[in-house]
Amino acid sequence: MNTASNAVARTTPAATTLFGKLRALALHALNLHLQNCAVMAEAYRRPL
């Protein structure tokens, strides 16, 4: 099977580093998005 992990393992070290940086950036963006959602949900839950 040609899974994503196998495809990354066969790439060059520079590409692997790039994919690692992109993955870290995506995870950081996801965490910021989830924090923003939590803040908005808390603000929506509170009475005016």
- What pLDDT was estimated at residue 46? 85
- What pLDDT was estimated at residue 30? 97
Residue by residue, what is the 3-state secondary structure of 21-47? Answer: HHHHHHHHHHHHHHHHHHHHHHHHHCC
Global pTM value: 0.62
- What pLDDT was estimated at residue 3? 47
d(CA 17, CA 31): 21
- What pLDDT was estimated at residue 15? 76
| Sequence-distant (≥ 6) Cβ neighbours of residue 15 within 8 angstroms | 8
| Sequence-distant (≥ 6) Cβ neighbours of residue 40 within 8 angstroms | none
* Residues counted in the chain: 48
Chunked into runs of 10 residues, the chain (48 residues) has average pLDDT values of 50 81 97 97 88
